[in-house]
Amino acid sequence: MRTESISPIRLDGKRTLVTGGASGIGAATARVLSDLGARVAIADIDGERAEAALGDTKAVAWTQGDVSNAEDSERMVAEAAGALGGLDLVFNSAGIGDDLVPVHAQDPERWRRVVDVNLYGTYLVCRAAGRIMAAQKAGAIVNVSSIVGLDAFPGRSAYGVAKAGIIHLTKTLACEWGGVGVRVNGIAPGYTRTPMVQALLDRQVFDPSVVEGRTPLRRLASSNEMASAVAFLLSDWASYITGVVLPVDGGWSAYGAAGDVGKHMPVG
């Protein structure tokens, strides 16, 4: 329990693993956590990219593997803890998108892969890291859900199921590990400009102006806006917060009316 007053957010010396740290939200968060004083190791399925991201993210170590493979997850957590001399914090950002096709047209193997990487991979990394944290009776984890995990998006059933599952997993782990001082929270990002989303924009899979019109803050997010929410949830500023999945979505999940948000309450 923290009773003293609190200084600005710092993560000095916190030994931190960021999965999916070679790109997008993971890379931005690794950099922000490093800037706040954490010692960060990044894990990614793309080893070359992870190694190349060391400078940009200011991470001090990297490891390669597939989070949805149980042996890889155990090894990556062990390697990160070995390189850092222990493990205090984890941010689970590794994930893949889906095919944007309706359920009846989906390739079942692709469906399974999307669930495996996003949900099973998050579970496996939590499981390996949680054992270390429970033994030391301290630690914090942040998982990544999505606005697609909060409500149904047609064509995104595998991703939505996985991200909804991450919300439940986060709550369950928070309840199981609260007694040993390990906090588990999540973020549910809205559309964020990362390589994953840029690839969809390049393929004209969605029109950014439609998303902007549906979003009370009228724009897509930056990766740094996800990173600051993660830093807060991992820090002592959130010392009494566990089992929460925070929408970081510009108000997307608050909006329930039909049509563009600006249509109802024009300002000015």
Active site amino acids: 159
Are 140 and 186 a contacting pair, CB within 8 Å? no
Are 191 and 235 a contacting pair, CB within 8 Å? no
Q: Which of 96, 174 has the CB closer to ligand NAD?
A: 96
Residue of 223, 238, 233 lying closest to 21 (CA atoms): 223
225 sits near ligand NAD (criterion: CB under 6 A): no
Spell out the SS3 assignment of 130-148: HHHHHHHCCEEEEEECCHH
Q: Which of 169, 240 has the CB closer to ligand NAD?
A: 169
Strand, helix or coil for residue 18: strand
26 sits near ligand NAD (criterion: CB under 6 A): yes
To the nearest whole angstrom, how small is the minimum distance from the Cβ of residue 238 to ligand NAD? 19
| Residue with tokens 């009846």, as numbered in its chain | 104
Q: Which of 88, 225 has the CB closer to ligand NAD?
A: 225
Instruction: State phi, psi for 189 to the nearest 5 degrees.
Output: -70, 150
Q: Please give the DSSP secondary-structure letter assigned to residue 42.
A: E
To the nearest whole angstrom, how small is the minimum distance from the Cβ of residue 178 to ligand NAD? 24
57 sits near ligand NAD (criterion: CB under 6 A): no
25 sits near ligand NAD (criterion: CB under 6 A): yes
Restricting to residues 95-124, name those near ligand NAD by CB under 6 A. 95-96, 117-118, 121
165 sits near ligand NAD (criterion: CB under 6 A): no
144 sits near ligand NAD (criterion: CB under 6 A): yes
For residue 8, CA distances in Å to 226, 231, 237, 239 come to 18, 12, 9, 14
Q: Which stretch binds ligand NAD (CB under 6 A): 19-27, 134-142, 176-184, 209-217?
A: 19-27
Distance of CA 3 to the CA centre of its chain: 29
33 sits near ligand NAD (criterion: CB under 6 A): no
45 sits near ligand NAD (criterion: CB under 6 A): yes
Strand, helix or coil for residue 73: helix
Among 29, 93, 170, 242, binds ligand NAD (CB under 6 A): 93
Give the pair of three-digit tokens for residue 44. Answer: 């990614």
Among 18, 44, 54, 88, binds ligand NAD (CB under 6 A): 44
CA 211 to CA 218: how far, in whole Å?
8
23 sits near ligand NAD (criterion: CB under 6 A): yes
Using CB under 6 A, list all residues that contact ligand NAD: 19-20, 22-26, 44-46, 66-68, 93-96, 117-118, 121, 144, 146, 189, 191-192, 194-197
